[in-house]
Structure 1
Amino acid sequence: MTGTLDALFAAVVAFVGGHFLLGWPSIRTLLIEQLGANRFRAVFSLAAIVALAWTIMAYGDAPYMPVWEPPHWTRWIPNIVMPLACILLVCGYNPFSPTAMMNEEAFEEDPHLVRGILTVTRHPVMWGIGLWGLAHLTIRGDAASMMLFGGMAVLAFGGMMKIDAKKRAEFGAKWAPFELSTSVLPFRAILDGRTKLDWRGIGWLRVGGGLLLWALLHGAHPWIAGVSAVPV
C-alpha cells in the first residue's frame, strides 16, 4: 500500500479520481437516490479522508527519484504565493458560498447571493489548493512530489469546471445569475463590470486569519515537510 512510487500514484489517483467520479452528475444523482443526501455526503467525506490519509502515508514512504533540479531562485515562489493561497483558503470557507459541497440549501434560499471573496472568484478554496500545488511543483523536482502536487493542482483546477457543470445541471437557469456575476479567474468579473469588490464582506479578520495560517505553516514546515520554508 505504501513504499513505492506505484503505490503513491495509485493513492493520488484514488484521491483525485474519487472526487471526480463521485461528483459526476449521473453517478452523484444515482447515489443520492439510493443513499439520501446526508448519507451520500458522509460516504463522500469518508472516502475522501481515507484516500487523503493513504496519499499522505504513500508520499512519506515513497522513494526519492530526481527528475529535474529546480534552480535556487524558485524557492522564493512558495513564499510569495502561499500567503495568498492561505488567504483564499480562509476566506473561501464561507457559509454563504453556493459552490461549497454542502451549501445547496443556501443557494436555494438566495440564488443571487454574491458577497465577500465570491466577488473575487467563485472558487476561492480551489484556487488556494491549486496555487499551493503549483507553487510547490516549482521547487520539488522529484517524481513523488510531482505526483502529489501535480495531482492536487489537477484536482483544484479541474474541480472548478466540475463544480460549475454540476451546479448548472442541478439548478439550471437559477444558476445563471450567480455564474454571470462571478468568475473563475480572480478579479475577472470585477474588471468586466459584472460585480464590485466586496471588501467589507471579505474583512480584515479573514485576511488576518489567512496570514496567520500561512505563518503557522511556514514556521512548522520543518516538522511538517522535513525542510525549512526559508528561501536561503
Structure 2
Amino acid sequence: MTLLVLGVVLWIAAHFYKRLMPTARASMGDKGKGLIALLILVSVVLMVIGYRGADYVDVYNPPAWGIHANNLLMLIAIILLGLGNSKSRFRGAMRHPMLAGVRAWAFGHLLVNGDLASVILFGGLFLWAFVQVPLINRAEPEWTKPEPGTLVGDIRLLVIAGVLLVVIAFVHNWLGYPVFPG
C-alpha cells in the first residue's frame, strides 16, 4: 500500500509543482520538463505496482448497477480525453476535457471497486483532477476557445473511442479484471 500512496502523492506533487511554484518551475527551463515527465512516469509505475500488490481491504460494497455505469463512464472518459486534440465540433465545449475525462474514469472505477487500494488510487486521482482545474484557471486566466471541427471529426472521435474501449476491456480481461458482466 505504501508504493500506491507514494505513487499517488508523487503524481499530484509533480502536476501541482508548475501551478503552485511557477517561478521555481520556470527557473528549471527545459530540463525541468524532463524531470517532471520522469517523476510522472515513476509515479505511474509506483501506482501500478502498489495497486496490484495491495492487500484487499473492504471499505464499501459497490452497487450492482455500478458495472454498467462504469462502462458508460469509461466511454465518456475516453471521448473526453481525446476531445481537446480532436477535430470534433465539440472540442471547444469545455476548457479542461482531459481532466473531466480523468474524473469520469476515476468515479466510474469507484462505482465498481470498494476496496481501500481503489479508494486511494481512484479517489486520489479524482480529487487531483478536481483541484487541478481551478489551479490552471488561476495560473492561466485567458483561454482561447478552439474553432469547432466537423461532423467527420465527431465520427472519428467516436470510432476511436469505441475501439479504445474494446482494447481497454480486452486488456482488463487479460489481467483478470473482467469489464462486461456475465
Structure 1 residue 30 displacement after superposition:
2.1
- In the alignment, the residues of structure 1 paired with residue 76 and residue 161 of structure 2 have an alpha-carbon distance, to the nearest angstrom, of 8
Amino acid in structure 2 at the alignment position of 1:7? L
Please name the residue that 1:112 is paired with.
none
The partner residue of 2:61 within 69, 76, 82 is: 69
The partner residue of 1:86 within 36, 57, 78 is: 78
Please name the residue that 1:13 is paired with.
9
- In the alignment, the residues of structure 2 paired with residue 116 and residue 40 of structure 1 have an alpha-carbon distance, to the nearest angstrom, of 35
Task: Tell me the C-alpha RMSD between the 2 structures.
Answer: 2.3
Structure with larger Rg: 1
Please name the residue that 1:59 is paired with.
51
The partner residue of 1:221 within 142, 166, 172 is: 172
TM-score normalised by L of structure 1: 0.70
Query: What are the superposed Cα offsets for residues 73-102 of structure 1, whole Å, 9 maximum, x if unpaired?
Result: 2111111111111111122335x9xxxxxx
Does structure 2 conserve the Cα–Cα contact (< 8 Å) formed by 1:85 and 1:131?
yes
Structure 1 residue 63 displacement after superposition:
0.7
Does structure 2 conserve the Cα–Cα contact (< 8 Å) formed by 1:59 and 1:148?
yes
Amino acid in structure 1 at the alignment position of 2:159? G
TM-score normalised by L of structure 2: 0.88
Structure 1 residue 152 displacement after superposition:
1.4
Q: 1:207 to 1:124 in 2, by over 3 A?
A: same
Query: What are the superposed Cα offsets for residues 183-218 of structure 1, whole Å, 9 maximum, x if unpaired?
Result: xxxxxxxxxxxxxx9351743212211121111112
Amino acid in structure 2 at the alignment position of 1:217? I
Stretches (4+) displaced over 6 A: none
Amino acid in structure 2 at the alignment position of 1:135? G
The partner residue of 2:36 within 40, 44, 49 is: 44
Tell me the secondary structure at the aligned position of residue 31 of structure 2.
Answer: helix
Structure 1 residue 133 displacement after superposition:
0.3
- In the alignment, the residues of structure 1 paired with residue 52 and residue 93 of structure 2 have an alpha-carbon distance, to the nearest angstrom, of 35
Does structure 2 conserve the Cα–Cα contact (< 8 Å) formed by 1:89 and 1:124?
yes
Query: What are the superposed Cα offsets for residues 19-75 of structure 1, whole Å, 9 maximum, x if unpaired?
Result: 11x1234x2322322x22x22211111111111111111111111101111122211
Structure 1 unmatched runs, 5+: 97-114, 169-174, 183-196
Q: What does residue range 163-178 of structure 1 map to in structure 2 within 5 Å?
A: 163-168=136-141, 175=142, 178=144
Query: What are the superposed Cα offsets for residues 98-132 of structure 1, whole Å, 9 maximum, x if unpaired?
Result: xxxxxxxxxxxxxxxxx844322111111111100
Structure 2 unmatched runs, 5+: none
- In the alignment, the residues of structure 2 paired with residue 6 and residue 61 of structure 1 have an alpha-carbon distance, to the nearest angstrom, of 10
Number of residue-to-residue matches in the alignment: 181
Does structure 2 conserve the Cα–Cα contact (< 8 Å) formed by 1:117 and 1:124?
no
Does structure 1 conserve the Cα–Cα contact (< 8 Å) formed by 2:10 and 2:39?
no
Amino acid in structure 1 at the alignment position of 2:18? G
Does structure 1 conserve the Cα–Cα contact (< 8 Å) formed by 2:7 and 2:42?
no
**What is the percent sequence identity of the aligned residues?**
25
